[in-house]
Structure 1
Amino acid sequence: MWRRLIYHPEVNYALRQTLVLCLPVAVGLMLGSLQNGLLFSLVPACCNIAGLDTPHKRFFRRLIIGGSLFALSSLIMQLLLLYTSVPLPVILLAMALLLGVTAEISALHARLLPASLIAAIFTLSMAGNMPIWKPMLLYVCGTIWYGGFNWFWYWLWREQPLRESLSLLYRQLADYCEAKYGLLTQHTDPEKALPPLLARQQKAVDLITVCYQQLHMLAANQQNGYKRLLRVFQIALDLQEHISVSLHQPEEVQKLVEQSHAEAVIRWNAQTIAARLRVLADDILYHRYPRRFVMDKQIEALEKIARQHPDNPVGQFCHYHFSRIARVLRTQRPLYVRDLMEDRQRRLPLWDALKSYLSFKSAALRNSARLGVMLTIASLLGASLHLPKPYWILMTVMFVTQNGYGATRVRILHRSAGTMAGLAIAGFTLHFHFPQYIALTAMLIITLVSYLFIRKSYGWATIGFTVTAVYTLQLITLSAEQYIVPRLIDTLLGCLIAFGGMVWLWPQWQSGLLRQNAHDALENDQNAIRLILSSNPEPTPLAYQRMKVNQAHNALFNSLNQAMLEPGFNSHYLEDMKLWVTHSQFIVEHINAMTTLAREHNMLTPDLAQRYLQACEIALQRCQQRLEYDGAGETKNATILDAEALPTGPLSTMEQHLQRVLGHLNILHTISSVAWRQRPHHGIWLNRRLGRP
C-alpha cells in the first residue's frame, strides 16, 4: 500500500511541490517572521516555470544560471523604476527582447525567459516596500533552497522520474495494442478507424521521445544505476516496433475472419499482451520485479491458423509479430542490444545563439517580441486604470500564454473559470475570520490537493491556488477582501490580452507549418528506406532512423490536430491534409515492419533492392516537389518506372511492403495536387516556394 502511495506520480509530485513551498512558511512561522516565509514561497513558482526541477547531468549549473537571471531581473527592474524615468512598458519590452536569446540556445533554456520575467513582475510588487538587496537575496536563497531540496528528493527516489515516463509508455502501448487488434473487422475503413489508432500511436511516440530526452539529460548510459531501466526502454522500443506494424490488407483480413475464428484468436493474443504490459507498467513504477509470463497457448492457436491458411498473409504476419512480442515479454530482454545514439537536440553557444537570434527569421525573436508587446499592453492598460503596479494583470498574461493557439485558449478558459470560483470561495470564507493556525493548515491541505490535480486539470488546481493566494494576501496585509474584485478584473483583462496576442501578434499558425512538416516526414522516410535497402544495414542507425521517421510523422500529426482548432483557415485544405496524414501513417507502419525484416537479414538481391530504392526515391521526390513548388502539378498517378522495372507474381514479405509504400506515395502525390488548390491564400501561403529554416 505504501508503495502505491509514495511512488504514485501525482502523489510524489504533489508531496514534493507542497513541501518545497510550505517548509519555508513553517520555518518563518517558528522564527516569528511569517511574512518573509510567505514571500520566500514565491520563488519556487519561478523555478517551476524555468524547469529547474528537471533531473539533469548539469543540474547545479542550471540552478546557478536560473538564480542569477532571477536576481539580475529583480535588480534591473528596481534600478530602472527607482532611479530612472524609464516607463514600465519600455522596461518589460526591453527585458523580454534581451532574455529571448535563451530560446535560441535550446528548448530547455527557453523556459528561463518566462521565469525571469515573472521574477521581475514579483519584484514590481515589492519595489519601494523593502531595500533593493532584499528581493535579490530572496531569489538567490530561494533558488538555492529549491535546488537543494529537489536534489535531495531525487537522491531519495533517484530513478523515479524516468520510471514514471516508462510506466506511462507501457500503459500507452497496452492501450494501442488492445485498440488495434481488439476490433479487427471494424478497421476496414481507414478514414474512420485509423484516426483514433493514430492518436494512440502518436502518444506512444511522444512518450518514447520524452524517455529519450530524459536518458540523455541524465547521461544514463554512463551510470550503472540506470542499466535496468535502459533495458526496459529498449524492450519498449521493440514492443512499439512490432505493435505498430501494418500489413494493411483489409480484404485479406475479412477473408480470413470469414474462413476461420482468427478474429477471436488475434483478440485473445492482443488482450493477453495488453494485460501483461499493464502489469509491467505497475512493476516499473512501484519498484517490483516482474513475475514469470508465458503465452504459448495463444501463439500456438495463431500458428495453427497460419498453417491452415498458407495462402492468406494475415495469419503469418500476426504470428510473426506476436511471437516476437511474446518472446520479449517472456525473457524481459530486448530482441537485440542497440546503442542509444546521442541526442541530436540543437544546442548553440551563447554567441552563436545571439547571432541567430538577431535575424528577423528567428522564431525565438518573434516569440519574445510577442510576449514583450503583450506585457507592454498590459502595463499600459494598468496605467489607464490608475493601477500603480499592475502586477496581477502581468502575471496572468505570463501564466496563461503557451506555445500555441489551442493550448493558450484552453489555459485561458481554465485560468479565468478557476480564478472566479477561487475568489468566490475565498471571499465567502474570509467573513468567518478563522484563526491563523486554521488558515495555514487549510492552505497546506489545499496546496497539496491542488498539486494532485494540476497536471490533469489546471482549472481545478487554479481554484485552490487562488484561495491560497487570497489568504496569503490576508496574512501579509490583513485586508485581502478589498483585493478580490480588482484581482478578478485583472485576471480577465490578462486573459483577454493573452488571447489577442496569440491571435493577432505574429501568430505561428500550425496550418502554415503543415507543408514543411510533411516535407520533413518524406525526407525521413527516404533516409529510412535507403538504410533498409542498403547492402548491410546496421541495427543501431536503423533503429534510430526508424524513431526519427515516427517522430517526424508525429510532428506532422500534432500540427494537423492544432491546425484543426485554429480560426480562419480553409477547412477543405485541412480535410485533404488529414487524408494525406492517414496515408503517411501507413508508410510509417510499413517502415516499422521493414526495419524488423532488415535487421533479421530478410534481404532482397542487390539488383532488386537497387530497383526498389530507385522507384521509392522517385516517388518520394515527386511528392516533395509537389509540396515545395507552387505549380500546376499532375493529378493523375504517374508511372514511377517502366512496367518491367519491378517484379510481378509471387512477392516476398519485404517486396509486399515496398509495393504498398509505392502505392501510398502515388496517392500522396494525388492528394498533394488536389490539396494545393484548396490552400489558404494569405500569410505564409503567399510564398511560392516552401520556406527553408
Structure 2
Amino acid sequence: MSKLNKRVLQQSYQQFQQVFWRYPDRVFALRATFSMGVLSIPFIIAGLPFYGVTLALGALAGALSETDDHPKGRVKALAITILSFFISSFAVGLLYDHPILLGTGFVLSTIVFILLGGIGERYRAITFGSVLIGIYAMLGIEISPAWYWQAVLLPLGALFHGGLTLLFLFLDPWRLLDKQMATGFRALSGYLEKKALLFPSKKQEQAALNKDLSLLNITVVNSLEKILAVLNNYGRELKDQELLRPYLQRFMLLQSLHERAASSHERHDKLSDTKENLEVMEGLGEMLHQLAHATQQLAESMLTGVHYHHPPALEWISQAVEDKLKKLDSTRTQPLILLHHNLHRSHLSLKNLDDQEEGTSIPKLRKDRERPMEKLRQLLSFKHPRMRYALRLSLSFLIGYILVKTFHLDKGAWVMLTSMFVSQITYSDTRRRLFQRVLGTATGVVLGALLLQAFTNTAAQVILMLVSSAAFFYWLHKRYSIAVIFITTFVICAFNIIAKDGGINIMIPRLTDTLLGASLSFLTIRFLWPGWQYRRMPELIAKALQKNMDYLQAVVTEYEKPSTDDLAYRIARRDAHLADNELAQAWNSMRQEPKSKQKLMQHAFTLTFLNHALLSHISALGAHRESNLVAIKNLQEISRQITEVLNKAGNYLLNREQQIPDDISPLLLNLQKQIVSTGSGLKKQNLRIIYNIADTASKIIRELDETWDVR
C-alpha cells in the first residue's frame, strides 16, 4: 500500500473517530444495541428466542443502571447491580405461585429500593434497574422454560453489557469526565447564545428572554453539579490527585465563565439608548455569539481529542468594540466598558486555557461529608419528598397488582411498568410523563402493528427490534416521548419473536395496561401528598434570599481580603445558584398544576425573577473581584444593610408574625450621591452594580409588602 493511500486511510479513520465520539448519545445507543444484538441473535438463530430476548432485556436494564464512576468505582457498582438484579428476578420466579407473598414482597422492596436510591446518584441508577428487572421478570415468567431461568439470564445480560462498558472505560479511563465536562460547556454555549439576543433588545422583549435564560441557567447549574459529582467519584479512586489537575482547572474555568455569563450590569434597553451605544451593544452581542461558538468547540475538543482552536474572530471583535468605546464619552459608557471588560476576560480565559502557571496548587472541591447511613436516616421522614414518592409508587404497584390478579389482565405487569416510568417526585413531572407515556405508547402500538404486518420473517423483526432499541437509547435523554415510541416497538417485536405472533396479540392489552398504570400514577400523586408549589414558595424564596446574602458577603470578603484558596467563595456561589435553580423549577412546576393551586402565580414569578436578578447583579460584582479595584468606602456597612433587609424579608416569609422590613431608600440615596461624586472608572461602575443590588432588594421588599400573602 502506498504512503498516499495509508495517509488517506489514516485521515479517514481520524475523521470517523471524531464524528463517532462527538455525540455521546449515539455512542451510548450503539454500545447498548451492540450488546443486545450479540446476546440475542445467536440464540434466535438457534431457535431459542426466549433466552436471547431475555438476555437482551438484562442488557437493556443494565444500560439504564449505568453510573458515572471511575473504572474502579464502576466495577463495584456493577457487582452491586448484578447482585440486585439476581435477587429481584430470583424472588419473582420463586414466589410467582404465591401471589400474596409476591405482591407484598414487591411492594415492600420497591419502598426499600427507592429510599436506597436517595442516598446518591450511583444507588439511584442501580435501584431503578433492580425494580425494572423485577417487572421484566413478571412479564416473562409465564413463557419461561423454568422458574429460575430469568434469574440467570437477566443478570448475565447486564453483566455482559457492564463488562463491555468497562472494557471501553479501561481503554479510555477519562471518557466519563470528558463527556460530563463537554455537556457542561455545551449547556453554557446554549445559555450564551440565548443571552446574545439581549444585545441589543427592547424592554418588551426582555421578560421572555430573561425567563428563557432562567430556565437555561437550570441546565447549566445541573451540569456543574454532575461534573462535581463525577470529579469527586474519580478523586476517591485516584491515589495521585495530580492526574485530576487538568479537569479541575477546566471545571474552574467553566464556573468562572458561568459567573460572568450570569452577571447583569444594567437593563439592556437602557444601554441601547443612542446610535453609538447601539453599535457597541451589537458588537457585544456578537462577542457573546462567538463565546458560545468557542465553548461549543471546546466541548467537541474534549469529546474528540482534537486540539481546541480559539476562534480568531473573538480577538478582532473585542478590539473593534474597545476602539469604538474609546471614541465615546467615558462618563456615559461605563456600563458598556465594564460589560466589554467582562466578556474580554472570558475571551482571554478560553484563549489561554492551557497556559497554567507551574507550581500552582490543585484546586479544591467541596466534598460530600455525609455518610450513607446519615442520608438514609433523613430519608425515613414522612415529610421527605423521596419517602412520599416511594409510598405513592408502591401504592400504585399494589393497586395495579390487585387489579391484575382480580381481573386476570393479560400481560398485566405492564400496569406496574407504566406506573414506574410515569410516577415522579413532583405533580408537574408526573403529569408531563403521563402524556408522554400514553401518547408514545399509542403511537408505538400502531407503528408496531404496521411494521409487523410489513415484516413477517424473523430476521427482519430482529433487525427491527435492534433498530428500535438504538432509537430508544438515543432519544432517552433528548425527547422522552419519542423514546417511548421506540421502546414500545421494541417490546412488541421482542414478544412477537418469542411467542410467534404474540406481538400482535399483546398490542391492545399493552395500550389498556398503559392507560391503567398512568391513571394510577396520576391519581396517587393528585390525592396523596401532591406537594403543591405555592405552599413551598415562601420557604424557597427565603432560602434563595439567604444564599444570595451569603454570596454577597463572600464577594465583599474577596474584595477586602482576597484569598489564595477561593473554595469558600465558590461554595457560596454554588449554593446561591442551586437555591435560585430550586426556586425557578418550583415556579415552572406551578405552571403545570391545576388552576386552583396556582395561587398568586404572577407574584411568585415576580419574586422568582427578582431573586434571579439579584443573583445576576451579585455575579457581576463577583466577576470583577480580581480587577485590582480601588476600595469602595463603607462596603461592609453597605453589604450589612442589604443583608439585614433581605434577612428580615426571609423571616417575614417564614413567620408572618414579624413585620415587613423597612424600605432602604436612605441607602439608595447615599449610593446615588457616591456615584455622582465619583469620577468615571471601574469604581463608579461597581458602585452602580452595588446600587442595582440594593435597588433589587428594595423591589423585593415592595413586592412582599403589596401582594405576598401565601400561607
TM-score by length of 2: 0.86
The CA deviation string for residues 53-92 of structure 1, in whole angstroms up to 9 with x for no partner, is: 765652122222222222222333344444x573554333
Q: Is residue 465 from structure 1 mapped to residue 487 from structure 2 by the alignment?
A: yes
Structure 1 residue 184: Cα displacement: 2.7
CA drift of 1:676 comes to 2.7
Answering whether residue 559 of structure 2 is matched by residue 544 of structure 1, we say no
The residue number in structure 2 matching 1:21 is 36
State which drifts further: 509-518 or 50-59: 50-59
Aligned twin of 2:5: none
Equivalences for residues 73-92 of structure 1 within 5 A: 73-82=88-97, 86=100, 88-92=102-106
Corresponding residue number in structure 2 for 1:324: 345
Is residue 24–residue 37 contact of structure 1 (8 Å, CA) maintained in 2? yes
Cα separation, 2, equivalents of 1:338 and 1:188: 45
1:380–1:523 Cα change, 3 Å: same
Q: Which residue of 2 aligns with 1:689?
A: none
SS in structure 2 at match of 1:42? helix
Aligned pair 1:274/2:292, yes or no?
yes
Residue number in structure 2 paired with 1:35 = 50
1:502 aligns with 2:525: yes
Distance change (3 Å), C-alpha of 1:442 and 1:661: same
115, 130, 133: which one aligns with 1:119: 133
Contact 1:328 1:335 in 2 (8 A): no
* Alignment of 1:237 onto 2:255: yes
SS at the partner of 1:577? helix
Amino acid at match of 1:575: Q
Structure 1 contact 245–593 (Cα < 8 Å) conserved:
yes
Partner of 1:136: 151
Partner of 2:466: 444
Give the Å deviation of 1:104.
4.4
- State the secondary structure of the residue aligned to 1:97: helix
1:485/1:571 Cα in 2 relative to 1: closer, same or farther (>3 Å)?
closer
Instruction: Label 1:2 to 1:645 Cα distance change in 2 as closer, same or farther (>3 A).
Output: closer
Corresponding residue of 2:86: 71
**Other-structure match for 1:672:** 704
**Distance across 1 between alignment mates of 2:384 and 2:602:** 30
* 1:40 aligned counterpart, secondary structure: helix
Q: Which residue of 2 is the match for residue 453 of structure 1?
A: 475
Alpha-carbon distance change, 13 to 71 in structure 1, aligned in 2, over 3 angstroms: same
Structure 2 gap ranges (5+): 1-14
Q: 1:623–1:665: 8 Å Cα contact kept in structure 2?
A: no
CA displacement at 1:470 relative to structure 2: 1.8
Which moves more between the two structures, 469-478 or 265-274?
265-274
Cα distance in 2 for partners of 1:356, 1:271 equals 45
1:212 correspondence with 2:228: yes
Q: How many residues align?
A: 676
- Cα distance, 1:486 vs structure 2: 1.6
Cα offset, 1:531, TM superposition:
1.9
Q: 1:644 to 1:121 in 2, by over 3 A?
A: closer
What is the DSSP-based 3-state SS (H/G/I as helix, E as strand, rest coil) of the residue aligned with 2:625? helix
Report if the CA contact (8 A) 2:200-2:272 is conserved: yes
Aligned match for 2:543, one of 513, 520, 529: 520
Q: 1:580 aligns with which of 602, 607, 612?
A: 607
Q: Distance in 2 between matches of 1:272 and 1:499?
A: 45
Residue 289 of structure 1, CA deviation: 0.5
Q: Give runs of aligned pairs for residues 153-232 of structure 1, distance below 5 A.
A: 153-189=168-204, 190-219=206-235, 222=240, 227-232=245-250
Q: Structure 1 455/634 Cα, relative in aligned 2: closer, same or farther at 3 Å?
A: closer
Per-residue CA deviations over 1:495-517 (Å, capped at 9, x if unaligned) read 21122223222223334332222
1:589 is aligned, of 582, 596, 616, to 616
Partners of 1:342 and 1:574 lie apart in 2 by 37
State how far apart, in whole Å, the 2-side matches of 1:410 and 1:92 are: 26
Mean alpha-carbon deviation: is it higher for 39-48 or for 555-564? 39-48
User: Which whole-Å CA distance do the structure 1 matches of 2:117 and 2:315 have between them?
Assistant: 52
CA contact (8 A) 2:71 2:169 kept: no
Q: State the partner residue of 1:654.
A: 686
Match of 2:11 in 1: none
Q: Displacement, 1:403?
A: 3.0
User: Is 1:390 aligned to residue 393 of structure 2?
Assistant: no
2: CA distance, partners of 1:248 / 1:28: 67
More deviation in 417-426 or 180-189? 180-189
CA distance in 1, matches of 2:572, 2:311: 31
1:246 paired residue number: 264
> Is the CA contact 2:415–2:514 (under 8 Å) kept in the aligned structure 1?
yes
Structure 1's 654 and 335: CA in aligned 2 closer, same or farther, altered over 3 A? Answer: farther
1:445 offset after TM fit, Å? 2.8
TM superposition shift of 1:193 = 4.1
Could you tell me how far 1:386 is from its partner in structure 2?
Answer: 2.1
SS in structure 1 at match of 2:708: helix
- Which residue of structure 1 lines up, in the alignment, with residue 107 of structure 2? 93
Q: Residue 305 of structure 2: SS of its match in structure 1?
A: coil
Provide Cα deviations, 1:571-608, integer angstroms capped at 9, x if missing partner.
45121111112121222122212223333443636x71
Distance 1:616 1:498, change over 3 A: same
Cα distance between partner residues in 2 of 1:645 and 1:277: 37
Q: Is the 8 A contact 1:341 1:544 kept in 2?
A: no
Give, as a single letter, the amino acid of the residue that structure 1 aligns with 2:115.
V
Tell me what 1:356 maps to.
378
Matched, 1:487 2:510: yes
* 2:281 counterpart of 1:263: yes
Residues 422, 434 of structure 2: 8 Å contact kept: yes
Partner of 2:435: 413
Residues 621, 636 of structure 1: alpha-carbon distance in 2 compared, 3 angstrom cutoff: closer
Q: Give 1:246 shift.
A: 1.3
Contact 1:418 1:463 in 2 (8 A): yes
Cα distance in structure 2, aligned partners of 1:656 and 1:446:
57
1:557 aligns with 2:557: no
Q: Report the aligned-residue RMSD.
A: 3.1
Distance 1:497-1:142 versus aligned 2 partners, 3 A rule: same
Of stretches 591-600 and 212-221 in structure 1, the one that deviates more from structure 2 is: 212-221
**Alignment match, 2:306:** 288
Contact map agreement 1:509 1:563 (CA 8 A) in 2: yes
Q: Give the secondary-structure state (helix, strand or coil) at the position aligned to 1:598.
A: coil
Matches of 1:444 and 1:570, distance apart in 2: 44
In structure 2, distance between residues paired with 1:54 and 1:415: 30
Q: Which residue of 2 aligns with 1:619?
A: 645
Question: Partner residue of 2:663?
Answer: 637
* Alpha-carbon offset, residue 303 of structure 1: 2.4
Contact 2:67 2:121 in 1 (8 A): no
Q: 1:293 to 1:95 in 2, by over 3 A?
A: closer
Q: Deviations over 1:462-488 (max 9, x none)?
A: 333222212221222224132222222
Does 1:375 pair with 2:397?
yes
| Post-superposition offset of 1:25 | 0.7
Q: Structure 1 residues 250, 435: CA separation in 2 closer, same or farther (over 3 Å shift)?
A: closer
| Letter aligned with residue 381 of structure 1 | L
- Is the 2:198–2:209 contact (alpha carbons within 8 Å) kept by the matching residues of 1? no
Distance in 1, matches of 2:416 and 2:115, equals 21
Local SS of the residue matching 1:630 = coil
Q: Which amino acid aligns with 2:282?
A: A
The structural deviation recorded for 1:557 is: 1.0
- What 5-or-longer segments of structure 1 have no aligned partner? 680-684, 686-693
> Residues 263 and 647 of structure 1: is their aligned pair in 2 closer, same or farther, counting only changes over 3 Å?
closer
**Partner deviation per Cα, 1:23-77 (whole Å, 9 max, x = no partner):** 1113434665332121111123433443447656521222222222222223333
- Which letter maps to 1:589? S
Distance 1:264 1:460, change over 3 A: closer
Range moving further from structure 2, 575-584 or 653-662: 653-662
Equivalent position amino acid for 1:213 in 2: A
Is the contact between residue 70 and residue 173 of structure 2 (CA under 8 Å) also seen in structure 1? no
